[in-house]
Structure formats: structure tokens, C-alpha cells
């Protein structure tokens, strides 16, 4: 707010804090509000649409995802920087401890390279440094709350119960020292199949669900077999395939040979229950604007119809 103070006129940005049950509805249902944007979970998104309907105002929603990160076999066709980048691309599920709506939380790896590629990834995951979030050497800090930590742990249990194999992590992490008892969770990888609940629900933690695919059609079917459609990653050396996949994946943002890039001006938002509307692009301003047509006659003559 201090940074914004000299940029925006007084009163433009207001931060209202308090229990959602009291202030959330009051804000969302207020007839003084002309447009609502919400980022959060699906049921609150539905409620906000309901309140917006009562006031006939537009609403945009960003409700999360279960984004697939797809690695085709040709990634390992050369031994170059792209291999290194793709390994990092998979490990980006742990970025911001997985507490990102677009977290690439499902990795789909082509069968032929699974063993070799996963070994490289697990080695990289094993090198993640957890600890003081203000230390620039730290790669991931603690989860945002005790509730979140408990939820992540419960999902790993659900995964185990469904028969998923824990390839790495799977437990609360104790980083010791002054951060002992902090809400740290080990970067975790669960191997299973896409019908498992850990492949279908957003965990919002450093937990990756990994599975394999046979070919492009199989990869696409798995990628789109989800209630969500926010982000996706495609890793391949074949430009035509990258284009076909990008077109066919039902997600608002498909990264090709990269992930978690958010340049200003690139439309961001979801298909399916991931939400409604687009942010960051000029389209976002249009959500907050009206289109007006001024239709002016230069002629003083009547139409002549009546």
C-alpha cells in the first residue's frame, strides 16, 4: 500500500479485513459494487456469481487448477541445456511451496524416458533448500498456515491410501534451528494414475502427482481429464506438436518449453471450473469498462419514413 500511495488517487484501493462470513458477503452483495473479481475456491466463486446476479454486475473468477506439465520423449533426444531446463520445469511444482494457482501439479512423462528423466528430476528435488524464507539461498519456505500444512499432509495420506507410490518426501519437514516447528513440508512426488484423487484435486502444496503416457493422443486425453483448465506445460523439440498440443489442451495458458512465466500483457485465466474472465491482458481492463456507442447524425433531414 505504501508503494501504491503515490500512484493511485486516494480511495481507489481499500483493504478491508475481517471474517469472510461477515465482510465477504457484505462486499460481494453490495449494490455499490460495480464489478467483482475473486480468486479462491469454487464454492465461494459460485456464491459471488449468485450475489453478482442479484445486482446484475459482471464478475471474473480465478478458482485454481490442476495443471498438467507434459514431457515428450524427444526432450532427451539431445544432451543440452533444454534437458536441464525441462528438469527445472518439472521441479517448478515446488515454486512458492506449491501455493500457486497454476502450480504444475501433474507431471505427464512419456513412457520411454520416464526412468531416466524422473531420476534427473528426483536428484534436483533432493537438492531443494528449505528454511528461512528471507534467506536468498532458500528455495522454498514454510506453507502459509497450519491448516494448509495439515491439508497437504492429509492429501499425501489420501494418495497413499489410493495406492500412489511416494518417490520422494511425503512428510512434514523439520528444518531445525530458529525455524524448528515451522510449517515446512518436504517437496513430494507421488507416482500414480490420473484417476486418483491426488491427480484431480488442487493440493496447494509442494506435492507433484506424476504419471506416464504413451503418445500425443494419450497425453492430451490425460491432460484434459480434469475439472480444471488454468495452466499447462508442453515440453518437446517438435514445434508442430507443441502447436497442436497448445491448441488442444483446454487451459487458459499453455507454456511451451517453459513454465511459470507471467509477462504483462499475456492473458491469464481459466477454462472450466478454473474460472471466468482473463487478467493481466488489456482484456482485464475491459472487464472494468463499458463499451459506449455514440451514434450521431450529421444530417438535419428526417428519414422520410413517416
Partner 1 sequence: MTATGPRVQRISATPAARKAVNRLCAARGAPVMFVQSAGCCAGSVPMCFPAGELVTGAHDLLLGEVEGCPFYVDSALDTAWHNPHLVLDVADGEPEGFSLGPGSGQRFITRPAGWVSGARPASSREPLIPSTGHPET
In sequence order, the β-bridge partners of residue 53 are none
Residue pair 219/213 in contact (Cβ under 8 Å)? The answer is yes
- Check residue 40 for interaction with partner 1 (CB under 8 A): yes
What is the DSSP code string of 187-241? Answer: -EEEE--TTSHHHHS---SSEEEEEEESSHHHHHHHHH-SSEESEEEEE-S-HHH
State the DSSP string of 144-183: S-HHHHHHHHHHHHHHHHTT-EEEE--SB----GGGTT--
Stretch 253-282: interaction string toward partner 1, x if CB under 8 A: --------------------xx--------
> Smallest distance from the beta carbon of 180 to partner 1, in angstroms?
20
Is residue 228 at the binding interface for partner 1, with CB under 8 A as the rule? yes
Among residues 109, 143, 202, 233, which is the contact residue for partner 1, using CB under 8 A? 202
Closest CA to 208 of 177, 237, 182, 187: 187
State the number of binding residues for partner 1 (CB under 8 A).
44
Contact region with partner 1 (CB under 8 A), list: 122-130, 141-149, 258-266, 295-303: 141-149
Indicate whether 3 belongs to the interface with partner 1 (CB under 8 A). no
Catalytic residue among 2, 22, 88, 101: 101
Decide if 165 is catalytic.
Answer: no
| Shortest Å distance, C-beta 19 to partner 1 | 7
Q: Which residue, among 56, 37, 55, 57, has the nearest Cα to 45 in the 3D structure?
A: 37
- Residues labelled as active-site residues: 62, 101
Residues of this chain that interact with partner 1 (CB under 8 A) are 19-21, 24-25, 28, 39-47, 50, 62-65, 101, 145-147, 150-151, 153-158, 160-161, 195, 197, 200-202, 204, 227-228, 273-274
Amino acid at each position: 500500500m505504501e508503494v501504491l500511495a503515490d500512484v493511485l488517487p486516494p480511495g481507489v484501493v481499500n483493504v478491508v479485513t475481517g471474517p469472510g462470513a461477515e465482510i465477504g458477503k457484505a462486499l460481494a452483495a453490495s449494490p455499490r459494487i460495480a464489478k467483482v473479481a475473486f480468486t479462491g475456491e469454487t464454492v465461494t466463486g459460485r456464491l459471488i456469481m449468485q450475489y453478482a446476479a442479484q445486482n446484475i454486475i459482471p464478475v471474473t473468477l480465478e478458482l485454481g487448477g490442476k495443471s498438467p506439465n507434459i514431457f515428450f520423449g524427444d526432450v532427451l533426444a539431445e544432451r543440452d541445456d533444454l534437458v536441464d531446463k525441462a528438469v527445472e520445469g518439472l521441479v517448478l511444482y515446488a515454486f512458492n511451496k506449491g501455493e500457486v494457482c497454476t502450480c504444475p501439479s501433474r507431471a505427464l512423462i512419456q513412457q520411454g524416458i520416464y526412468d531416466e528423466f524422473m531420476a534427473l528430476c528426483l536428484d534436483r528435488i533432493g537438492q531443494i533448500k528449505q528454511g528461512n524464507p528471507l534467506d536468498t539461498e532458500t528455495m522454498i519456505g514454510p506453507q502459509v498456515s497450519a491448516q494448509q500444512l495439515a491439508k497437504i499432509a492429509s492429501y499425501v495420506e489420501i494418495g497413499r491410501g489410493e495406492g500412489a507410490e511416494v518417490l520422494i518426501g511425503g512428510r512434514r519437514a523439520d528444518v531445525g534451528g530458529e525455524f524448528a516447528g515451522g510449517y515446512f513440508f518436504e517437496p513430494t512426488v507421488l507416482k500414480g494414475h490420473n484417476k486418483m484423487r491426488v491427480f484431480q484435486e488442487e493440493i496447494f502444496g509442494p506435492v507433484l502427482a506424476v504419471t506416464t503416457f504413451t503418445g500425443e493422443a494419450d497425453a492430451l486425453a490425460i491432460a484434459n481429464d480434469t475439472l480444471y483448465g488454468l495452466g499447462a506445460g508442453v515440453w518437446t523439440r517438435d514445434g508442430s506438436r507443441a502447436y497442436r498440443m497448445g491448441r488442444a489442451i483446454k487451459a487458459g495458458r499453455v507454456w511451451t518449453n517453459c513454465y511459470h512465466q507471467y509477462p504483462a500483457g499475456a492473458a491469464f485465466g481459466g477454462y472450466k471450473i478454473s474460472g471466468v474472465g482473463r487478467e493481466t491482458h488489456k482484456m482485464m481492463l475491459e472487464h472494468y469498462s463499458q463499451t459506449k456507442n455514440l451514434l450521431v447524425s450529421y444530417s438535419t433531414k428526417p428519414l422520410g419514413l413517416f
